Chains A and B, each alone.
Chain A
Amino acid sequence: MVNPTRMELTRLKRRLVTARRGHKLLKDKRDELMKQFLGVVRENRDLRSKVEDALSRSNKSFSVASAVMSPEMLDEALLYPKQSVSLELGFRNVMSVNVPLFTFHTKNDDPSEIYPYGFAQTSGELDDAVFSLSKILNDMLRLAEIEKSAQLLAQEIEKTRRRVNALEYVMIPQLEETISYIMIRLQESERGNLTRLMKVKDIMLAQAQEGRKAENA
């Protein structure tokens, strides 16, 4: 329980002002994050269906290739890659959330250079599979980037929403309640003081009249 003093009251009022301002700021932050998030997540969904479709298709041609070729042949054809990919990682700041940005570098830029095998002993389906995979690689990286962003933004929104709610439904009502309690107590003691003074005044007047009567007599 708090001390119902004027000093405490001023302190709490100041805290209430701060809490209200924080609440407003966090609410704005949440709304903006939400706006960003919905854009990201829509792109995420569309990109994901695109990548999944493309991958399923390339998986199909890959299964055909593995049916036509012997497994040893397939391994031999693919196990030593010609191409190599490395990734550079950057960050973009979205409403103070650091979301990753990937830029990738391939060793060979020539699209016909991706096949790590000679064409004589492999089937054409394998070429198709590898080619379609190489085409979706870009989208796959974009998907990784955007899906991670969506996850990070979701986390931040959840955190911000909790804070907003804590301020709105716990902190601010509690402060208001305490402030009104202190004000009521202060008013009460003010009234108590006033009646006491009035009473004292009455007594003093009565005594003065007694004294005057005694003098006159």
Chain B
Amino acid sequence: MYKIAVIGDRESVLGFKALGLDVFFAEDAEDARETISRISKENYAVIYITESLASPLASEIARFKDSPVPAVILIPGKEGSLGLGLTAVHKAVERAVGADILSDERK
């Protein structure tokens, strides 16, 4: 049985606690890095992390890109969407196709 983790600053992720997800508070990137490396060894299939914490940890997160679990998914924090998650989608397209062919078919 797998679990779901949420990493973020207190204000952004406290609400997920009510849903029964495992919430880890991290106030800065260093905290988040530790948390990620700790819980990636446990039974977490999905790790949601706020965009603002994820941006300095890009290399850590890239490590999980090619393995089936855990899925590290960026979510907007209390600052609102920074567009990082969408950038990651476009990166994947670029990696597969060689060029970002989705960007102009927006709308």
Contact = CB atoms under 8 A, between A and B. Distances in A.
B58 interface: no
A155 B16 contact: no
Interface residues of B, number: 40
Contacts, number: 149
Given A63-B11, A98-B68, A106-B20, A155 B73 contact: no
Given A42-B102, A87-B46, A144-B71, A62 B97 contact: no
Interface stretch (A4-12, A51-59, A189-197): A51-59
Contacts of B4: 85, 87, 104, 141
Interface of A: 34, 37, 41-42, 44-45, 48-49, 51-52, 55-56, 58-59, 62-63, 66, 74-75, 78-79, 81-89, 91, 98-100, 102, 104, 106-107, 114-116, 129-130, 133-134, 137, 140-141, 143-145, 147-148, 150-155, 157-158, 161
Given A52-B76, A85-B19, A100-B68, 9 more contacts: A48-B86, A82-B20, A99-B68, A116-B18, A133-B18, A144-B45, A147-B89, A151-B66, A154-B93
